[in-house]
Homo-oligomer: A and B are copies of this chain.
């Protein structure tokens, strides 16, 4: 069957018509996938998105999507605190699931959701879109192909152009579960090993963020089980814009990428040799990655033999790293990931 007919045959429901819901709906529409319905508590917001991409049905009740037997898969683009509930509902309704990160902010909740998915025999893919970025894919390839030999060290630089509102920060789970979680997944993806120990130095440059109980600047050190050392550097505020870079040092050399810019133009005047600011934020920077991510999800839904390239387990591991980093910061000590494994935790190491 040709790709167009194949994609059209896939019938999808989208939960959440916000910013990321809009991105995904647009991509599905361009891939020729049939978006059957959009659910959003705001009918107006749902209608607006549906109209833009020719989606026939809008509802304020997610059940309308779960109960539609013609729908094969759902995209969970709802607020984080609803992700797990929607996963359970989707699994019960035997829909394949694409869930934005994080699955939840509580490990037990994540575990239950992942188990529900497995029990239902549906597939779940978690939205770590950066794995599909051209730069990071190329770095992963260099690692796999041994272009830099055995990996010894990884650095991830990840800076946002500006902090989200304090109201959001308060419910975000903190920088490590909200922002760094992407970098934790990237570190695991690129190194191909699990992390054993985490140590964090952090601070709130912005007093409002500090007052909200969070930090905006952090260095996170990782020791992987295979001996690799990693460090992630985060900032909520890079005045020049979004900045996403990785560097790996291996026994045969190093592989690194530069940040992404809207063009390669240089303007040389009597004052400076300058170029334009980087691509502003994640929607611009990662649009191609979002496309490849959803293409992969479409393939996963349509081909029974394939497993999701980013699994519920990946979502769980990234969250665990976020929780360990949070604990390290609070207690100013290196934290073993194993502290989060053993129930019951007696005494705390």
Contact = CB atoms under 8 A, between A and B. Distances in A.
Interface stretch (A59-67, A84-92, A167-175, A196-204): A196-204
Given A233-B231, A240-B273, A268 B251 contact: no
Interface of A is mostly: mixed
A334 B197 CA distance: 14
A30 interface: yes
Interface stretch (A37-45, A122-130, A131-139, A305-313): A131-139
Interface string A242-283: 010000011111111111111111111111111111100000
Contacts of A243: 254
B235 A253 contact: no
Contacts of A134: 262-263
Interface in A221-244: 221-223, 227, 229-231, 233, 235, 237-240, 243
Nearest to A256: B266
Contacts of A159: 249
Contacts of A271: 277
Interface residues of A, number: 82
Nearest to A197: B201
A254 B240 contact: yes
A53 to B, nearest CB: 6
A252 B265 contact: no
Interface in A90-122: none
B202 A199 contact: no
12 contacts: A4-B54, A138-B263, A152-B205, A152-B217, A201-B221, A218-B229, A240-B268, A252-B270, A253-B268, A255-B265, A255-B266, A256-B266
For the complex of A and B, 6 pairs with smallest distance between CB atoms: A253-B269, A240-B268, A258-B264, A272-B274, A274-B274, A30-B30
